Amino acid sequence: MTSSEVESGKPYNAIIHEAALRMRVGGPKVTRAQLAHLLEVSERPNVTIRVIPFSADGFAGSGLPMQYLGGTVPQLDTVQIDTQHGAEFIDATAQLNRYRALLERVDSTALPQDASLDLVRRIAQEL
């Protein structure tokens, strides 16, 4: 999540798997700073951060980082997925429908925001 995306005031909803929060790229100090940043950003009224915990059964989107960019006109929605060859943008109706369904399953798996932020705090304390 970039500063401009968060500061724009537009709704920004992030769903993060617990595994990503526990990765220690750069060591514990860097990881703590990243988690603190997530908690700080989550205080903005336009930002929602939710976590999919390890305990979630049958997580539907494992290993698939994506950004779903949606607006008031669904036909203009776009999905960005990261591939080994760079970013790929998807805007075909049939494909968007599949990603919308995937996003709904991921959304139903994630913890509510309060529980998610509690988990982020617990992970930070464990470092």
Per-residue pLDDT, averaged over 82-101, amounts to 89
- pLDDT at 83 (0 to 100): 84
- pLDDT at 75 (0 to 100): 87
pLDDT reading at 106 higher than 70: yes
Q: Distance between CA 15 and CA 30 in Å, rounded?
A: 21
Is this structure's pTM higher than 0.85?
no
Q: What is the share, in percent, of the chain residues with pLDDT greater than 90?
A: 50
For 79, list phi and psi in degrees, rounded to 5.
-110, 135
Contact 69, 78 (CB under 8 A): yes
Tell me the pLDDT of the chain averaged across its residues.
87
For 21, list phi and psi in degrees, rounded to 5.
-75, -25
Q: Distance between CA 15 and CA 52 in Å, rounded?
A: 7
- pLDDT at 4 (0 to 100): 57
Within the chain, residue ranges assigned H as helices are 3-7, 18-22, 28-41, 93-109, 113-126
Q: Distance between CA 108 and CA 110 in Å, rounded?
A: 6
Per-residue pLDDT, averaged over 94-111, amounts to 90
More confident call, 6 vs 106: 106
Instruction: Give strand pairing partners of 90.
Output: 79
Residue-wise pLDDT for 15-66, tens only, equals 999 999 998 888 889 999 999 999 999 999 999 999 999 988 766 665 678 8
Q: Supply the DSSP symbol for 15.
A: E
Please report which confidence band the pLDDT of residue 116 belongs to, taking 50, 70 and 90 as the band edges: very high
